[in-house]
Structure 1
């Protein structure tokens, strides 16, 4: 195989994503919440979203103490995997332990959600929606290869035909995140 026959991320985006996707399609792909709606509509399994925050009052008035032991707090239109907190365990002192082995409190989560609303992690730093999502974890099969985080498989479909796929594995270098922008 020649090096010139490899389709890199930039070429994929420039030659295919921008050219062949509608503005509506790109909008759905850029929003984790809209993507979840599209997946649900087509019957594709995905982590359940159990709370959305669109304004600061919703963040401040939410009963954070009622959260499950495991969950993820995410920006809808986050960029490069930034702004995602994945919690895997509730501790006896009322705080949680993240997959990055950091303790977070209710106040930490509130402040993070408010940062998301302000656009701290979004495309173009535009105001965003924060949401809480079910924690998926990782299959035992991947534990040998995935450092701390959850791996995923991305499938690229062109004209309704799957044409390529990639396995994203969290690495030590990426801090346990399966995101290419963070070293996975």
Structure 2
């Protein structure tokens, strides 16, 4: 089988929070690729980036994504960079699970993530870095997604309802 639904989007878009709520609503398991990576590595994503480098993180991320795409009937949230590689894009396009892109603006995401040190890709000029990442990633997210949900100015319950509507 495969995940019931896959959530993609940038850091701070709510993939984990919304994914947990959707999974609870559906009575199925929730998985987050970043959390699985942390479990396997025995350290945080930030520590992996800082100690091992982004390349090592991406190698582990690719393995985790491949494994998680085979998981049965789960809600799966991907780290912001997980769908960026060509291999990941191909795998996500080939899977029968609906892929939902949670789209968010810089103005909305800034207070959520606070651009703190736990976001290794945002260590220098966090707002500029986030914007640069999004300019590169948005077209990829849009090309992979079966549905796009604008999460700006929406409550968690509104977003969950929109995700569940997509799944009907």
Point out the structure with the larger strand share. 1
Q: TM-score, normalised by structure 2?
A: 0.29
Q: Structure 1 length as normaliser, TM-score?
A: 0.27
Q: Higher relative contact order at CA 8 Å, sep ≥6: structure 1 or structure 2? A: 2
Rg larger in structure: 1
Greater percentage in helix: 2
